[in-house]
A and B are shown apart, each in its own frame.
Chain A
Amino acid sequence: MTRPGRRWRRFLSALRFGVRGVRAAPLVFVASVGTMSAGLVLLAAYLLLMLNMHAVLEHFGRDLRVVAFLEAGAEPAAPELASLREWLEADAAVAEVVYVAPAEALERLRADLGREAGVLDSLERNPLPGSFEVRLQPGSRTPEHLRVIAARLQREPAIHEVRYGEDWVEGYARVLRAVDGVGLGLGALLLIVLCAIVSGTIRLAVHAREHEIQIQRLVGADGWFVRLPFCLEGSLQGAAAAGLALTVLWGLFKVGVPLVRAPLALVLGPRDPVFFGVGEVGLLLALGVALGLVGALLSMVRLEESS
């Protein structure tokens, strides 16, 4: 028998020992998973809410643009326009700049008016100003950025007026700040609840295992042979709890969302609420595993202190 082979077998034995321990005391396992998943449902529901709130802003941001109107009836010369465009594009927050000439603005208006477009024929000259439509980089689509950029444009003499739907954006930002504030408090509260739950399950596990670990040591188990099954059990519990929590939340989501579609639309607009994607599900499972693992290690520390 080679040494690495033996070590590997001991590792596998310890894992098997842990799995059989779970099978031998399924109630402890189930109780731990149950309590942990209750906490994780709360946490995941909270994260789902935040995810949707931010998805709305993201969605809104795609249509977001700042429109800078030039003086009406005085279209600047081409070199002047080019230098203005250059100046606009130099800003790192700007993704795209489109110039809408007065003639094109008139065409758009004509198309919008449809059959009523005849009223425009009586105009002697085009009353519409030219404008630059500025689209922003995804990272800069926040009210703060918008305000800064708008203020900068405003200071440019050639630009007569700047519009970006400021009321809507700033109202929404206020709502989001409020949500984030409440969310932060709620998140902290949830974390405390979750810690209490995990330490409760730890106490349960330690109680169930104390005698067993004492015996393991007496028949020659070293620290790792004792710890590894414990850690495995903790990770399995965490993964199972996260899986259960996500399943419960998904069920609630599927059943609950159609019931509250109308009030939800007030908050989210016409968009349907979204559930976690594959990556986020993976992250939550990993969070469950980490939680279980940390819990197991903490309980090992507590056990080693007590013995």
Chain B
Amino acid sequence: MIQMYHVDKQYPGGAYGVSDVSMTLDRGEFAFLTGPSGAGKTTLLRLLFGAEHPTSGQILVAGRNVSRLSSGSVASLRCEIGVIFQDFKLLGNRSVFENVAIGLEIAGATRREARVRVWSMLKRLGLGHRMDDLPRSLSGGEQQRVAIARALVHDPLILLADEPTGNLDPDLALDIMDIIADAHARGTTVLVATHDPGLLDRYRHRRLVLEKGCLLADTYPDTQPGRVRWAASTLR
């Protein structure tokens, strides 16, 4: 579903966002992208949905060569991907409902279909009563859930989440991981960027470890229940 071949991203200033990253994420997989702050997690996600262009290397997402897409094709790719942004990126002067419905509207869903989907998604996230409110009147946790609802309402092929539990108290963080796990269970391929050790300890998923832009390790958890061990499968 996602393939990267020797991808470099060098920012105009000369700083490396990611450097020589190669990896593959299969359909239906769930992986964490971890590493310290500044390791290149956000950059890697932005490369995947076409918000950044790689300096060199190839990126394939859902069968499309992202490094070579026209802006129209980038738009249609983004319609099939759900992204949870670190800073939410909600439309400040639109209601919660409109913020969540926008992806469906862009994709050309009927009004009835959009209403039904948005409503049931918001209810599932405990936001049914905030549908007509503006994002700024919501708490940080509620805004985070609106961002998640928007990313998931159209049943995306792929979910890219950038620190979806950052700045949240642990209970809320677990709620949100449950929602993401739900989407995964329904077939969405998931890539979650996080540097939250609590989260990593709790869930036994594949981990891609970045540091200073390089992919240091690509590890799968031991399948034995109870004892979680990590086996390095790829070392540079």
Query: In this assembly, does A259 line the interface, its C-beta being within 8 Å of a C-beta of chain B?
Result: no
Binds A, one of B10-18, B88-96, B136-144, B200-208: B88-96
Q: Can you sample 5 A-B contacts with CB below 8 Å?
A: A9-B110, A16-B105, A212-B93, A219-B83, A223-B75
Check A218–B78 contact: CB distance below 8 A.
yes
Known contacts A219-B78, A222-B71: does B108 contact A6 (CB below 8 Å)?
A: yes
Query: In this assembly, does A216 line the interface, its C-beta being within 8 Å of a C-beta of chain B?
Result: yes
Bound Cα distance A163, B72 (Å): 73
Kindly name the residue among A212, A218, A220 whose own CB sees the greatest number of chain B CB atoms within 10 A: A220
Query: In this assembly, does B177 line the interface, its C-beta being within 8 Å of a C-beta of chain A?
Result: no
- 59-73 of chain B: CB within 8 A of chain A: 71-72
Kindly report which residue of chain A lies nearest to residue B82, judged by CB atoms. A219
Q: B108-148 vs A: 1/0 string, CB under 8 Å?
A: 11110000000000000000000000000000000000000
Kindly report which residue of chain A lies nearest to residue B150, judged by CB atoms. A219
Judged by DSSP, the binding face of A is helix
**What A residues does B91 contact at CB under 8 A?**
212, 215
Query: In this assembly, does A261 line the interface, its C-beta being within 8 Å of a C-beta of chain B?
Result: no
Bound Cα distance A25, B134 (Å): 12
Q: 8 nearest interchain CB pairs? A: A220-B78, A6-B108, A222-B75, A13-B105, A220-B79, A10-B108, A24-B93, A9-B108
Q: A10-54 vs B: 1/0 string, CB under 8 Å?
A: 100110110011001100000000000000000000000000000
Query: In this assembly, does A69 line the interface, its C-beta being within 8 Å of a C-beta of chain B?
Result: no
Bound Cα distance A217, B106 (Å): 10
Check A20–B94 contact: CB distance below 8 A.
yes
Check A17–B72 contact: CB distance below 8 A.
no
Query: In this assembly, does A59 line the interface, its C-beta being within 8 Å of a C-beta of chain B?
Result: no
Bound Cα distance A218, B83 (Å): 8
Check B85–A218 contact: CB distance below 8 A.
yes
Q: For chain B, give the interface size range.
A: 20 to 34
Q: Which of A13, A21, A25 is within 8 Å of B106, CB to CB? A: A13
Bound Cα distance A215, B103 (Å): 11
**What B residues does A155 contact at CB under 8 A?**
none
Bound Cα distance A13, B111 (Å): 8
Query: In this assembly, does A7 line the interface, its C-beta being within 8 Å of a C-beta of chain B?
Result: yes
**What B residues does A221 contact at CB under 8 A?**
75, 102, 106
Bound Cα distance A34, B103 (Å): 33
Check A219–B106 contact: CB distance below 8 A.
yes
Bound Cα distance A17, B103 (Å): 12
Kindly report which residue of chain A lies nearest to residue B156, judged by CB atoms. A220
Check B94–A222 contact: CB distance below 8 A.
no
Q: Which of B83, B93, B106 is within 8 Å of A10, CB to CB? A: B106
Check A223–B94 contact: CB distance below 8 A.
no
Check A223–B72 contact: CB distance below 8 A.
yes
Bound Cα distance A296, B108 (Å): 24
**What B residues does A9 contact at CB under 8 A?**
108-111
Query: In this assembly, does B168 line the interface, its C-beta being within 8 Å of a C-beta of chain A?
Result: no
Check B71–A211 contact: CB distance below 8 A.
no
> Measured between C-beta atoms, what is the minimum distance from A82 to chain B in Å?
77
Query: In this assembly, does A225 line the interface, its C-beta being within 8 Å of a C-beta of chain B?
Result: yes
Check A17–B92 contact: CB distance below 8 A.
no
Check B51–A216 contact: CB distance below 8 A.
no
Bound Cα distance A9, B112 (Å): 12
Known contacts A6-B108, A9-B109: does B94 contact A220 (CB below 8 Å)?
A: no
Query: In this assembly, does B23 line the interface, its C-beta being within 8 Å of a C-beta of chain A?
Result: no
Q: Which of A25, A217, A222 is within 8 Å of B93, CB to CB? A: A25
Query: In this assembly, does B107 line the interface, its C-beta being within 8 Å of a C-beta of chain A?
Result: yes
Query: In this assembly, does B98 line the interface, its C-beta being within 8 Å of a C-beta of chain A?
Result: yes
Query: In this assembly, does B76 line the interface, its C-beta being within 8 Å of a C-beta of chain A?
Result: yes
Kindly report which residue of chain B lies nearest to residue A215, judged by CB atoms. B89
**What A residues does B109 contact at CB under 8 A?**
9
Q: Which of B76, B98, B110, B150 is within 8 Å of A20, CB to CB? A: B98
Bound Cα distance A214, B78 (Å): 13
Check B105–A220 contact: CB distance below 8 A.
no
Known contacts A220-B75, A220-B103, A223-B71: does B94 contact A24 (CB below 8 Å)?
A: yes
> Measured between C-beta atoms, what is the minimum distance from A304 to chain B in Å?
10
Check B105–A17 contact: CB distance below 8 A.
yes
**What A residues does B81 contact at CB under 8 A?**
220
Bound Cα distance A215, B150 (Å): 12
**What B residues does A220 contact at CB under 8 A?**
75-79, 81, 103, 106-107
